[in-house]
Amino acid sequence: MSGTETYQFSCPECGQSLTVDDSMRFALVDNGCVVCGAPLRGTEFAACS
């Protein structure tokens, strides 16, 4: 199965970093940082190659 992208998430407020897949990325953008609750804009993710 291909098509599952992974991203490196880095929270601008608390500094938490996480490796996430697409569904986690969408959930983070909708719900804010899982650790500190900071709202996210969707630009806090870098695609992993």
Interacting residue ranges for another protein, rule: CB under 8 A: 13-14, 16, 18, 21, 23-24, 26-28, 30-32, 34-38
Positive or negative CA dihedral for 19, 21, 22, 28? negative
What single DSSP character describes residue 3?
Answer: -
The CB-of-32 to Zn ion minimum distance in angstroms stands at 8
The CB-of-2 to another protein minimum distance in angstroms stands at 19
Residue 24 interacts with, from Zn ion, another protein, none (CB under 5-8 Å by kind): another protein
Structural Rg of the chain based on CA atoms: 10
